[in-house]
Amino acid sequence: MPSLPSNQARAQRMDRFMAFLISGGGLLIIGAVLAMLLFIMKESVPLFVPPQSRSMGTLQAPRSGGAWLDESGKAVVLLSRKEGLKAMRVPEGTSLTLPSLSSDGPPLPWRLATPPGPRGDCLVIGGDDRLSLAQLAWSKPAGENDPARWVLEPHWQGGVKLSSVPDAIFHFRLMEAGGLGGGSSLRVVARTAGGLVWSETALEPSATLAWKPIQLDPSLHASAAAWSSDGQRLFVGTQEGRLLDLDPETGQVQSTAEFGEPIQSLGFALGQSSLLVGGARGKLAAYQRVRVNEVFTLQAFHAFPRLGGPVLGFQASLRDKRFLAWTPSEAVVDHLTTERRMFSAPIEGLGVATLAPRGDLILHANEGTGALRLWSLDAPHPEVSFGLLWGKTHYEGYEKPEYVWQSTGGTDDFEPKFSLVPLVFGTLKGTLYAMLFAFPLAVLGALYTSQFATPRLKHTIKPAIEIMAALPSVVLGFLAGLVMAPLLERMAVEVFIYPFVVLLLALLIAPFWSRLPLPFRNAFGTGREVLWMVPVLLLAVALTNFAGPWIERVAMGGSYRTWLQTAMGVTYDQRNSLVVGFAMGFAVIPIIFTISEDALSSVPKSLTSASLACGASPWQTAWRIVLPTASPGIFSATMVGLGRAIGETMIVLMATGNTPILDWSPFNGMRTLSANIAVEIPEAPLHGTLYRVLFLAAFLLFVLTFILNTVAELVRQRLRRRYESI
Amino acid sequence: MSRLGERFRQGGIFVWFSGTLLAFCLAMILCLVGYIVAKGMGYFWPSPLAQVQTSEGPVLGEITGHEPAHGEETEKLQFRVGNRDVFGQDFRWIPAAGLSTPEYPKEAVLIERLEYGPFIGRVASLSHEGQTVATGTSALQEALKHLPEAERLRHHIQTIEKGQVGDLNRRIEKLRLSRHKLEAKGDVAGLQALDAKTADLQSAYDQLQTSLEQSRAEAKAWTLSLQTADGQIKECPLGSVVRVVPANALGPFGKVRVYLSRLWEFVADDPRESNTEGGIFPAIFGTVMMVLVMSVLVVPLGVITALYLREYARQGWLVRAVRVAVNNLAGVPSIVFGVFGLGFFVYGLGGTIDKLFFADSLPTPTYGTGGILWASLTLALLTVPVVVVATEEALGAVPRSQREASLAMGATKWQTLWKVVLPSATPGILTGLILAIARGAGEVAPLMLTGVVKLAPAMPLDSTFPFLHLDRKFMHLGFHIYDVGFQSPNSEAAKPMVFMASFLLLLVVVVLNLFALNLRRKLRERLGGSTF
C-alpha cells in the first residue's frame, strides 16, 4: 500500500480516534444513565436481605445465673450468687479484672439475684437478707475501645430490710421520683410460699419491705407477673393459661385473656408496652393493653412461631422491636411488629440467655456447666418486610391492623411505621383528580384546535399552550397553595356552580345566535367559536358571583362548610385535592394537548375528505372518524400525562397538607410518594431504614413512569406506521 | 323537535362545547400569567397610606385587602400597618362597619428599615448625638439630606464585615488546618512560624474590629424619632433606614423614582429579615450559575450521545430501544433524579472525594454535602434527553446530499461530521440547549436534595482563590419561592416578594421557551423536516 500523504494519514488517525471516542463516550453515557435505575434499586435492596447470624464459639466461664452484655458487645458481666460479679471480654473469653465490690454492695453469698435487664439493672438479695438494686455500667475513658481499660461501676441502691425472703422475684419496676417525697421507689412482685405478693419501697437502708398478698381467684395459680410501664397495673400469668390485668392495691381484675396453655414467663419489648407471653409448651405471643370501645382490654396482637419447650425468659433490644426468647433447647430472636423470626439456634440445657442492647449479639450461659455460647446477628433493617410495606400492620397502641406512614416520632423508643399504601393511595388520588380535570379539557381542546379552528387561530393557540407547558411547577404550586386554596375556600360554591352557569348562559344565547344570518355566522363564527365564548365565560363569572352567595344562603343555610359537615359528614381542608387537581391539571393539560393535537392533525386528509363527501357534518367527521383513528395517540398522550402527574412533586408539596391519609374525599389532602421523598429524605440518616425505604419509593416512581412512557412511545410508533400505510 | 334532533346529531353544539373548553384553558393561562405579572409588578409601586378611626384608636397603613361579607362574617378591610416591633404583626383585619372615611395625611411616611419591617407613621424629630436638630416636617427634610451619608457608612460597614473580616477568618481557619498537619509531623519550627502568622492575622483582625466599632458608633449618631398613628414613639438610627417614602406627598415622578429604586434593590441586593425583604440577587446569581454549569455539562453529554446514536451505532432494535429509553428519561419524575443525585453524587462521589482530598477538614464535609456542582450534574442528567432528542433531530435534518458530497471529496467520516454536518446542526443543538435550560431553570425538587439552601453565606463565584467554588451551596429562584412562601414565619408579609420572584422565574422560562420555539420553527421551515 502506497504511503499516504501525512495530513491524510493524520485525518484518518483522527477519524479512527473520534470514532472510538464518540462510540465509547456515547456507550458510557447511555450506560451511566441506565445505571441510575440500578443504583436506586441497589440502595433499596438491603431492606429485603434476610438476617445473617453466625456462631462465635463457646467460652468456658464460672457458672452464673445471669449475664449482661455491654452496648459495644465487647464485654459481658456475669452474675453468680456465690461469687458476685465477674466480667469477661467477648468473644475472646479472657477475664477482666474488677475492683473488689464496693462497700455498698450486698455481702456474699447472695440469697437471690434476678438476671439483668437490657440496661443492666437487677435485684439482689444479699447474705444479710437485704434487698438492693444494682445498675451495672462501664465507665469508659473517652474514645477507649479496649475493655481492659474500662472500669465496671455498679451503682448499688437500697439495702432494704425484707420481712421475709421470697422464693422467686418475678418482676420489678423502678418508679421515678414523682410523689412529694421526691425519691424514686421500687415496685416488686414475687412469689412466696403463701402465693403472689407485691410491695413498694423506697430505696433506702432505713426502709423495710413488707409483702402484701394479692388475692387471686382460688382456682388460679400465678406462674409469672410483670408490672405495666407506669407501674400502676400488674399483669399476671397463671398455670391455667389465663392472663390477668389487675390493680395490685385492690386485686381487682380489669380484663383477662385466654392464652391457651400454662404461662411460663412474661416480658416486654422495647417501649415496655407490648407484653410478651411465653407458654410452658412453647407458645409465643404478644399482648397489649388497648382501649377498645372506651374499655381497656388485653388484646393478643401478634403471634410468633412455636418453640420446642417451655419459654424461660425474654430480653428486649434497646434499638428496635426485636426480642430474644429461649427454652432449654432453643434460643430465638423475633421481631415484634413483623412477626419475623430473625435468629434461631439450638442450645443444650437450662440457662440464661441475653441480647446485646443493639440486638447484634446473643449470649447463652448454661447454668449447669457454665459454658457460654455466642452468636452474632446482622439485621440492619428488621422492621421492614414486604408485608409491612404493602399490607395492614398491627402497631403497638393501635386498636387493629392499619396502613400507617409515620417515619419519625418524639421519643427514643418510637417505632417508625413504613406502610407505602397511604402514599401510593395519595399519588393515585392526586393523579385521578388531576386527570379528571385535565383530560376532557385537553382532548376536546385539541380536537377543536386540530379540526375546527381557523389556521390563524391555530397558530396562536398552539404556542400559548406550549408556554403553559413551560410554567415552572413551583410557580403553579405557589399559586395553588397561597392563592387558589384560600380563594376556593371562600368561593367553593361559586366554583362548583360555574360550569352550570356557563352551560345555562350558552343555552340562553344559542337561539339568538342561530337567528343571525348564515353568511355572518359562516364568516365570523365557524372556526372562531373560542373567541365568541370568551365574553360568555366572563359574563358567567359575574353571574356566578351573584348567584353563589344566594345559593349558599338559600340551599345551604349560609355556610357551605357547616352544610358539608352536617349534611354530608365531610370536613373541608383548605389545601385539598380539588386545589391539587386543578393545579396539577394545569401542568398536565399542555402535555396531553400537544401530543393529542399532533395525533389528531396527522390523521390522513383522505379519511376526513371521504367522510365529508359522504355528507357527514364536520363534528360527525371529527367524532366518528378522526377521534377513533387518532385514539392510540390520545391514549399515549394520556399515558405521558399520567406519568407527569404521578411524579409531580412541588405542586403537591405546596398545595396539599401532606398528611398521609386514606380518604377519597375531594375536600381533604393527601401525601404522595414524590412529595414524601422531598419532605423526608433531607432528614433521613444515610443508609438508615428510612433512607432505603425512600429509595424504594423513588424506584417505584421510576419504574412506573418508565413503563407508562414506554407504552406511550410504542403505541405512538405503531400509530405512525399505520398512518404511513393509509 | 326533529329539527333540534337533527342539529344535535350534526353536532354544531359540540363544536361550541369543545371551543368553550379551549377558551377556558386559554383564559386560565391568561389569568394566571396576568395575575402574577400584576401582583409582582405592582408591589413596588408606593401605595397611599390611609388613616381611619376605629373604636380602638386610629389606624394608619396601606389598604391591602378587602373581604366582602360572607356567611356569618362581616365585611373586613386588611391594613398593612407595619411596625412589627410595636404592634407585633404587619397586617390587621379591621371590620369595615363603623370606620370613618379614610384620610390620606400628607405627613405620613413609610420608612423601610433594616430590621422589623417597615415603619408606618410620622417623623417626630431628628437628633444628632442626643441633640434635637429638627422637628416635624423639617425633620423629614433634614433626614433625607443625611440619608445618603448614612447609607454610604452602612455599605462601608457591610463591605468590611463581609469582605475583609470573612477573608481574615478564612485565612485563620486555613492556618488552623495546616497546624493539625504540622502537629502530626512534629515540626516545631514550622509550628512557631505558624503561630507568628496567626498572631499577625489576629492583630489585623482586632484592628478591623475597632474600626468597625467606630463606624458603627458613627452610624448611630443620627437618630430619627418616629411616632406611630396611636402616638407611640420609636427611636430609629438613621443608619438602619433603607428608604423613606412619604407616600401621600409624592408626585407621579417621585413615585416612579421610588418604584425604580425598589426594583433595583430587589434585583441587585441581598435579602434581609429571613428573605422576606430586600433583594434576591443571590438567588438570581445562583440560578444563573447553576444553569451555566449545567449547560457546560449537558452539551457534551447530549451531543456525544446523539452523535453515537445517529452516526456511529449500528441501527437495529438495540439502538431503537436505547433511543426510546433515553427519550423516556425525560418523563421520569425530577424527584427521582434528585434522589439519585443525593445518593450517588453527594454521598457516593462527594464522600469519596472528601476522603481522598479533604480528609483534613473531616468530619465537616466539603464535597460530601449538597453543592452547586452536584445540583448542576443532577440537572444535566435530567435534561440530557432534551438535548439528545433535539440534536438527533438536527442531525437527521442535514440533507444526505451534503454528506455524500463531502465524503465523495475524500473527507473522512469525522471530517464530514465536524466540517459539514455539525455546523448545519448547530442551531438545532442550540434549540435543545435552550429548552434544556428552560427546563432546568424551573426545576426545584431535585435541587432541594442536592444543594440549594434558603440563605447561602457565600456565592459560588467570588474574588478568593480558586474563584469558582463548586462545592458551595447556593440560592435558587424557584426554591426561594417555595421557601419564602411556605417555610417563612411571616409568609403574609413575604407574599409580594414571592410574586415578584415568580414573575422573574416565569419571565426567564417563558422568554427562553419562546426563543427556542421560534428558532425551531424557523429551522423546520428552512429544512422542511417535521416530527410527529
pLDDT at res. B532: 33
What value does the mean pLDDT take over residues B32-60? 85
Which of B44-58, B160-174, B201-215 shows the lowest mean pLDDT across its residues? B160-174
Q: Confirm or reject contact between B409 and chain A (CB < 8 A).
A: no
Mean pLDDT of chain A: 87
What confidence tens digit (pLDDT) does each residue in B364-413 have?
777 888 889 999 999 999 999 999 988 998 888 888 888 899 999 988 88
Task: Of A394, A404, A405, give the one whose Cα is nearest residue A287.
Answer: A394
pLDDT at res. B91: 84
Q: Confirm or reject contact between B497 and chain A (CB < 8 A).
A: no
A280's grid cell: 410452658
A272's grid cell: 415496655
Mind giving me the DSSP string for B125-155? EEEETTEEEEEHHHHHHHHHHHHHHHHHHHH
CB contact under 8 A, B338 and A678: yes
Query: Going by C-beta distance under 8 Å and a sequence separation of 6 or more, which residues neighbour residue B80?
Result: B61, B62, B63, B64, B90, B91, B120
pLDDT at res. A1: 47
> How far is it, in rounded angstroms, from Cα A522 to Cα A277?
85
Query: Higher pLDDT residue, B175 or A16?
Result: A16
- In residues, how long is chain A? 726
Which of A43-52, A670-679, B267-276 shows the lowest mean pLDDT across its residues? B267-276
How close, in Å, is residue B22 to chain A by CA atoms?
Answer: 5
Q: Is the pLDDT of residue A287 over 90?
A: yes
Q: Confirm or reject contact between B457 and chain A (CB < 8 A).
A: no
Mean pLDDT of chain B: 83
Q: Confirm or reject contact between B289 and chain A (CB < 8 A).
A: no
CB contact under 8 A, A479 and B510: no
User: Which residue on chain B is closest to A549 by alpha carbon?
Assistant: B70
Q: Confirm or reject contact between A500 and chain B (CB < 8 A).
A: no
Q: Confirm or reject contact between A716 and chain B (CB < 8 A).
A: yes
pLDDT at res. B71: 62
List all residues of chain B from 298 to 317 with a beta carbon under 8 Å from chain A. 301, 304-305, 307-309, 311-313
What confidence tens digit (pLDDT) does each residue in A131-168 have?
988 888 888 888 778 888 888 888 888 888 888 889 89
Q: Is the pLDDT of residue B274 over 80?
A: no
- Omega before A109 cis (within 30°)? yes
B297's grid cell: 455539562
Task: Of B449, B442, B473, give the one whose Cα is nearest residue B459.
Answer: B473
Q: Confirm or reject contact between A552 and chain B (CB < 8 A).
A: yes
Query: Going by C-beta distance under 8 Å and a sequence separation of 6 or more, which residues neighbour residue B70?
Result: A490, A549
What confidence tens digit (pLDDT) does each residue in B465-524 have?
777 788 888 899 999 999 888 887 777 777 888 898 899 898 888 888 888 888 877 877
Q: Is the pLDDT of residue A271 over 80?
A: yes
Query: Going by C-beta distance under 8 Å and a sequence separation of 6 or more, which residues neighbour residue A136?
Result: A68, A77, A85, A116, A120, A121, A122, A152, A154, A155
User: Mutate which of A437, A471, A536, A602 to test chain B, going by most B C-beta atoms within 10 A?
Assistant: A471
How close, in Å, is residue B10 to chain A by CA atoms?
Answer: 5
* Confidence category of residue A437, pLDDT binned at 50, 70, 90: very high
CB contact under 8 A, A445 and B22: yes
> How far is it, in rounded angstroms, from Cα A454 to Cα A528?
7
Residue indicated by cell numbers 348567584: A547
Which of A36, A474, A620 is opposite residue B481, by nearest beta carbon? A474
Mind giving me the DSSP string for A600-625? HHTS-HHHHHHHHHTT--HHHIIIII
Q: Which residues of A touch B336 (CB under 8 A)?
A: 40, 647, 698, 701-702, 705
- Omega before B466 cis (within 30°)? yes
Domain boundaries, chain B: 281-527
Residue indicated by cell numbers 408485608: A387
User: Which residue on chain B is closest to A540 by alpha carbon?
Assistant: B24
Alpha carbon of residue A137 to chain centroid: 35
Percent of chain A residues past pLDDT 90, beyond the cut: 30
What value does the mean pLDDT take over residues A506-534? 78
Q: Confirm or reject contact between A464 and chain B (CB < 8 A).
A: yes
Q: Confirm or reject contact between B515 and chain A (CB < 8 A).
A: no
Which of B18, B326, B491 is opposite residue A448, by nearest beta carbon? B18
Q: Which residues of B touch A22 (CB under 8 A)?
A: 304, 307-308, 311-312
CB contact under 8 A, B517 and A464: no
Here the contacts of B412-417 (C-beta below 8 Å, separation 24 or greater) are B412/A11, B412/A12, B412/A14, B412/A15, B413/A15, B413/A19, B413/B311, B414/A11, B414/A14, B414/A15, B414/A18, B414/A19, B415/A11, B415/A14, B415/A15, B417/A18, B417/B307, B417/B311
Q: Is the pLDDT of residue B155 over 60?
A: yes
Residue indicated by cell numbers 447511555: A30
Q: Which residues of B touch A586 (CB under 8 A)?
A: 28, 32
Q: Which residues of A touch B326 (CB under 8 A)?
A: 30, 33
Q: Confirm or reject contact between A708 and chain B (CB < 8 A).
A: yes
CB contact under 8 A, B482 and A445: no
The ipTM assigned to this model is: 0.87
For A304-371, give the secondary structure using H, E and C.
ECCCCCCCCEEEECCCCCEEEEECCCEEEEEECCCCCEEEEEECCCCEEEEECCCCCEEEEEECCCCE
pLDDT at res. B530: 40
What confidence tens digit (pLDDT) does each residue in B228-246 have?
888 888 888 888 888 888 8
**Inter-residue contact A217 to A171 (CB < 8 Å):** no
Percent of chain B residues past pLDDT 90, beyond the cut: 10
Specify the CATH number of the domain B281-527. Answer: 1.10.3720.10
Q: How many Cβ pairs within 8 Å bridge chains A and B?
A: 292
**Inter-residue contact A46 to A380 (CB < 8 Å):** yes
Q: Which residues of A touch B10 (CB under 8 A)?
A: 617, 619-620
Q: Which residues of A touch B13 (CB under 8 A)?
A: 510
The enclosing H or E element of B373 equals: helix B372-397
> How far is it, in rounded angstroms, from Cα B176 to Cα B178?
6
> How far is it, in rounded angstroms, from Cα A209 to Cα A201?
6
User: Which residue on chain A is closest to B385 by alpha carbon?
Assistant: A33
CB contact under 8 A, B339 and A681: yes
3-state secondary structure of A245: strand
Q: Which residues of A touch B32 (CB under 8 A)?
A: 471, 479, 586
pLDDT at res. B1: 45
How far is CA A146 from each of CA A67, A68, A72, A86, A151, rounded to the nearest angstrom?
A: 20, 17, 10, 17, 11
CATH class of A429-474+555-725: mainly alpha
Q: Which residues of A touch B322 (CB under 8 A)?
A: 30
Q: Confirm or reject contact between A710 and chain B (CB < 8 A).
A: yes
Query: Going by C-beta distance under 8 Å and a sequence separation of 6 or more, which residues neighbour residue A163?
Result: A208, A209, A210, A211
CB contact under 8 A, A470 and B11: no
Query: Going by C-beta distance under 8 Å and a sequence separation of 6 or more, which residues neighbour residue A650?
Result: A473, A474, A476, A477, A678, B444, B445, B478, B482
Q: Confirm or reject contact between A378 and chain B (CB < 8 A).
A: no
In which order are the strands placed within the sheet that holds A242-246? A222-227, A234-238, A242-246, A253-258
Q: Which residues of A touch B510 (CB under 8 A)?
A: 467, 470
Dihedral-angle region of residue B344 (phi above 0 means left; psi in -120 to 50 means alpha; beta otherwise):
alpha
Q: Which residues of A touch B26 (CB under 8 A)?
A: 461, 464, 530, 534
Rounded-to-10 torsion of CA A97, A99, A104, A109: 40
* Confidence category of residue A661, pLDDT binned at 50, 70, 90: confident
In which order are the strands placed within the sheet that holds A185-192? A168-175, A185-192, A195-202, A212-213
User: Which residue on chain A is closest to B35 by alpha carbon?
Assistant: A479
